């Protein structure tokens, strides 16, 4: 692009030599008055011939590819053409003062600006002179003696012009260099990143403002320092070979994130990119670009922390724990020590969450995390897996006794009550323990096995710890098989009920029967409820299964009645999850209506512990069921709270004394011993509350007699009859064989 004429004029004016210098150059070229006279004489004759000369000149330019490409823009070409024409007109006009010089400079500048190199420019003069020679010869053919002096005069003026043209090129490129240096200085000084020039051996030569701000040293101070002075010894171990490679031309550039040691002792994260300069760049062999990346690093660190820690407790999360396990295993491979993984789960945490709210649950979790941290060594890791699950990792363990001792310490620590929202809570826990190398050689296996051990600890009655063993794994597999089979048990018709008669202790009559569930998967052995009720409960399958039990039992009650048996009471067990299931009363009402079973012929058995977990809502549910006329019994009495006065608030009809209690009282065989006295008191107190007392698990005549003596109302147990099919019970009635 050609610069605007006004700008060209201005620049050309700045380049103007003084008049004296112009005269001196003309003198040196021996331009005389005769020369000027000769040129003036030829001038008018030459004008009509000029267009041809100029056209020939441009044709010639177009034969050279590099020039053709510079002249391809028609606007540029036209302007150059005009300039050229004006030039030729002035060339022989005979006035070579300042206007002529300014014009020459302007033409030179115009060509320099379009990128025409000086060698082409000088070559162009050769072309003019070559083409004008024959023209002059022709014009002076009638005065042949004039040709040579006139041509010589023309050559002197052309040489004068060439000198001026070279001036424009030299001055313009000097100016460009000055401009570029000024731009570099501005960019260097004002840059938003740290910039520095370094010597090949790593001395700071020149630094910009930003770099001084980053490290807190002035440029003067840095000039007396070496790059090694700003980094730690570890970083220098990495930087030194890189610097050598850069200085020896083995590496073009190197980029590293590291921490600079600032003047005030701070460490700041920077990204330093060092590039080797051309070998002729003098002292400044290297250029460094230094970016302050401390904010990004801090952000990354925060993100990293979030990604590896539990937000509520600040403890390690699963990702970090698995990382630490890998480290611990690698360490133990060298030392020969073991690694222990303790998997913890709070017992009845759901109850705390449900009854006191999630905020209380969160406070419990935080406090548990704090106690766990307090119980372990600094080198151990406490992690939370969400909910109420925690994992403690113990690296470098000489013996497994230490893991057992710590598990006990944790159980004790959590046994200490904590005050949450005015409630004293002691969220006991169960712990499963796995060990490297015995139980697995990677984090995931150790976790899986610690989880299996935890499951076992819970099955053992909670509040204890268990070490993993191979057979637990088999149990876990069994559990998975059971779970998937159970999902289809109802639709495949694999469930069945057995009925255990309940006997009036006064006369031995059968008053009712308890429905007890069995599962008969196709082609397999009968599965007893103890093996699958917990799984059904944990998976929620108990809800549809429980409804099937209720419907089948109620339908059976009606079938017996219709078969001519007395109007028996049918007892059905409700699990914790079923009892808490919204809409339980509606479901019961629907089943009663569908089957035609009278509400007072149905007795629902609920364990004491289920009622005591959330007594208020339990009382409401029981009240709704009681209002429907359904009978309610407390199952397994004697195994939990055993608080009769507390049970007063529930609208219950019967109390079932647990078989373990029956076994114990009867073993002493006398009402005078403590257990006997307590049993007598319980029965009397229950009676005073209007409750019927049913003894479970009566296996012997002595037990029956003993209970009779205590005025216990009813009993069930193997002594009278084992659970049996509906048809067998019907048969029993017909034979009248149940009365004992
Ligand atoms: N939520 C539901 N729970 C149910 C259902 N069906 C049963 N169960 C519960 O499973 C537990 C085990 O039941 P089961 O194996 O059927 O055992 C019952 C009786 O066979 C057994 N029993 C009865 N008499 C004696 C005896 O003299 N000795 C002795 N060792 N065992 C005896 O007791 C079980 C009945 O107990 P209980 O319910 O407490 O009256 C058990 O907890 C069942 O409740 C179901 O449909 N839903």
> Which tens digits make up the pLDDT trace of 715-730?
999 999 999 999 999 9
Query: How many domains are there within the chain?
Result: 4
Give this prediction's pTM.
0.49
Same structural domain for residues 65 and 113? yes
Answer yes or no: is 36 within a domain.
yes
Looking at ligand 1, which atom is closest to the CA of residue 498?
A: 16
Nearest residue (by CA) to ligand 1, atom 33, is 697
Give me the long-range contacts of 287-291 (CB less than 8 A, separation at least 24).
Answer: 287/195, 287/196, 287/197, 287/198, 288/194, 288/195, 288/196, 288/197, 288/198, 288/227, 289/193, 289/194, 289/195, 290/193, 290/194, 290/195, 290/196, 290/211, 290/214, 290/260, 291/193, 291/194
- How many angstroms does the Cα of residue 508 sit away from the middle of ligand 1? 21
Contact 634, 608 (CB under 8 A): yes
- How many angstroms does the Cα of residue 641 sit away from the middle of ligand 1? 20
Same structural domain for residues 259 and 143? no
Same structural domain for residues 169 and 104? yes
Out of 256, 276, 298, a domain closes at 298
Same structural domain for residues 30 and 70? yes
Query: What is the phi-psi region of residue 594: left when phi exceeds 0, alpha when psi lies from -120 to 50, beta otherwise?
Result: alpha
DSSP single-letter state for residue 347: T
Answer yes or no: is 478 within a domain.
no
pLDDT in tens, 119-174: 888 888 888 889 999 999 999 999 989 999 999 999 999 999 999 988 888 888 88
pLDDT in tens, 621-676: 999 999 999 999 999 887 666 567 677 889 999 999 888 778 766 665 444 456 66
Same structural domain for residues 705 and 594? yes
Q: Does residue 566 register a pLDDT over 60?
A: yes
Answer yes or no: is 365 within a domain.
yes
Answer yes or no: is 536 within a domain.
yes
Nearest residue (by CA) to ligand 1, atom 30, is 697
Question: 573 lies in which domain range?
Answer: 483-735
Same structural domain for residues 211 and 82? no
Q: Tell me, what CATH number does 557's domain have? A: 3.20.20.450
Same structural domain for residues 726 and 614? yes
Q: Where are the alpha helices (DSSP H) in 197-252?
A: 209-215, 219-223, 233-247
- How many angstroms does the Cα of residue 652 sit away from the middle of ligand 1? 20
CB-defined site of ligand 1, < 6 Å: 500, 514, 516-517, 528-530, 533, 549, 573, 575, 635-636, 659, 696-699, 716-718, 723
Rounded percentage of the chain residues whose pLDDT exceeds 90: 59
- How many angstroms does the Cα of residue 430 sit away from the middle of ligand 1? 26
Same structural domain for residues 286 and 362? no
Looking at ligand 1, which atom is closest to the CA of residue 698?
A: 27
Q: Which of 516, 657, 694 to mutate to test the pocket of ligand 1 (most atoms within 8 A of CB)?
A: 516
Same structural domain for residues 607 and 506? yes
Answer yes or no: is 9 within a domain.
yes
Q: Tell me, what CATH number does 218's domain have? A: 3.30.450.20
- How many angstroms does the Cα of residue 515 sit away from the middle of ligand 1? 9
Answer yes or no: is 476 within a domain.
no
Same structural domain for residues 389 and 325? yes
Answer yes or no: is 477 within a domain.
no
Same structural domain for residues 160 and 252? no
Q: Which of 513, 515, 519, 529 to mutate to test the pocket of ligand 1 (most atoms within 8 A of CB)?
A: 529
What value does the mean pLDDT of the chain take? 89
- How many angstroms does the Cα of residue 655 sit away from the middle of ligand 1? 15
- How many angstroms does the Cα of residue 732 sit away from the middle of ligand 1? 20
Answer yes or no: is 574 within a domain.
yes
| ipTM of the complex as predicted | 0.95
């Amino acid at each position: 692009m050609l610069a605007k004429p006004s700008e060209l004029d201005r620049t050309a004016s700045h380049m103007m030599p003084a008049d004296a210098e112009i005269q001196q150059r003309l003198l040196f070229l021996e331009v005389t008055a005769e020369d000027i006279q000769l040129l003036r004489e030829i001038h008018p004759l030459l004008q009509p011939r000029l267009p041809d000369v100029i056209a020939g000149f441009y044709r010639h330019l177009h034969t050279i590819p590099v020039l053709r490409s510079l002249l391809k823009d028609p606007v540029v070409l036209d302007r150059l053409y005009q300039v050229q024409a004006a030039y030729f007109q002035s060339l022989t006009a005979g006035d070579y003062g300042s206007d002529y010089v300014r014009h020459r400079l302007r033409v030179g500048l115009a060509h320099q600006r379009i990128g025409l190199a000086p060698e082409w420019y000088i070559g162009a003069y050769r072309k003019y002179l070559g083409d004008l020679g024959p023209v002059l010869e022709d014009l002076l053919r009638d005065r042949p003696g004039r040709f040579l002096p006139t041509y010589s005069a023309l050559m002197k003026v052309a040489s004068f012009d060439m000198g001026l043209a070279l001036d424009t090129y030299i001055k313009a490129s000097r100016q460009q260099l000055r401009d570029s240096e000024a731009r570099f200085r501005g960019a260097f000084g004002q840059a938003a990143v740290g910039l520095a020039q370094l010597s090949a051996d790593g001395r700071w030569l020149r630094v910009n403002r930003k770099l001084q701000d980053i490290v807190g040293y002035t440029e003067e101070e840095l000039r007396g320092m070496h790059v090694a002075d700003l980094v730690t010894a570890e970083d220098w171990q990495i930087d030194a070979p890189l610097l050598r490679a850069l200085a020896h031309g083995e590496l073009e550039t190197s980029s590293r994130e590291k921490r600079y040691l600032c003047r005030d002792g701070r460490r700041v994260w920077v990204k330093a990119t060092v590039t080797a300069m051309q070998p002729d760049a003098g002292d400044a062999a290297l250029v460094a670009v230094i970016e302050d990346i401390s904010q990004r690093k801090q952000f990354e660190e925060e993100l990293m922390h979030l990604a590896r820690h539990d937000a509520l407790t600040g403890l390690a999360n699963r990702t970090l724990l698995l990382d630490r396990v890998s480290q611990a295993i690698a360490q133990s491979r060298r030392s020969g020590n073991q690694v222990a993984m303790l998997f913890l789960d709070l017992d009845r945490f759901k109850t705390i969450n449900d009854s006191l709210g999630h905020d209380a649950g969160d406070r419990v979790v935080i406090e548990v995390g704090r106690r766990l941290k307090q119980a372990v060594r600094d080198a151990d890791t406490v992690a939370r897996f969400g909910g109420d699950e925690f994992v403690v990792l113990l690296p470098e363990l000489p013996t497994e006794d230490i893991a057992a001792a710590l598990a006990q310490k944790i159980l004790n620590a959590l046994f200490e009550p904590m005050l949450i929202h005015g409630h004293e809570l002691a969220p006991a826990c169960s712990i499963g323990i796995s060990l490297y190398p015995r139980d697995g050689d990677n984090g995931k296996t150790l976790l899986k096995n610690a989880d299996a051990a935890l499951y076992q600890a819970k099955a053992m009655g909670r509040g204890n710890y268990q070490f993993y063993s191979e057979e637990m794994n088999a149990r876990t597999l069994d559990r998975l098989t059971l779970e998937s089979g159970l999902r289809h048990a109802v639709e495949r018709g694999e469930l069945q009920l057995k009925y255990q008669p309940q006997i009036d202790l006064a006369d031995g009559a059968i008053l009712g029967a308890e429905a007890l569930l069995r599962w008969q998967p196709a082609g397999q052995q009968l599965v007893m409820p103890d093996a699958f009720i917990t799984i059904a409960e944990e998976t929620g399958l108990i809800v549809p299964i429980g409804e099937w039990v209720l419907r089948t039992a109620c339908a059976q009650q009606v079938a017996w009645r219709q078969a001519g048996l007395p109007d028996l009471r049918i007892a059905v067990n409700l699990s914790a999850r079923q009892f808490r299931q919204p809409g339980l009363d509606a479901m019961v009402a629907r089943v009663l209506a569908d089957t035609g079973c009278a509400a007072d012929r149905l007795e629902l058995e609920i364990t004491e512990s289920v009622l005591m977990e959330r007594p208020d809502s339990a009382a409401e549910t029981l009240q709704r069921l009681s209002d429907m006329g359904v009978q309610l019994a407390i199952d397994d009495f004697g195994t939990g709270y055993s608080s009769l006065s507390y049970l007063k608030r529930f609208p219950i009809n019967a109390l079932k004394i647990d078989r373990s209690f029956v076994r114990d009282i009867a073993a002493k065989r006398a009402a005078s011993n403590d257990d006997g006295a307590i049993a007598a008191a319980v029965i009397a107190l229950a009676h005073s509350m209007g409750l019927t007392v049913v003894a479970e698990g009566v296996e012997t005549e002595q037990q029956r007699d003993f209970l009779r003596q205590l005025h216990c109302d009813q009993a069930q147990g193997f002594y009278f009859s084992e659970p049996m099919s509906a048809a067998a019970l019907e048969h029993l009635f017909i034979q009248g064989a149940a009365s004992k």
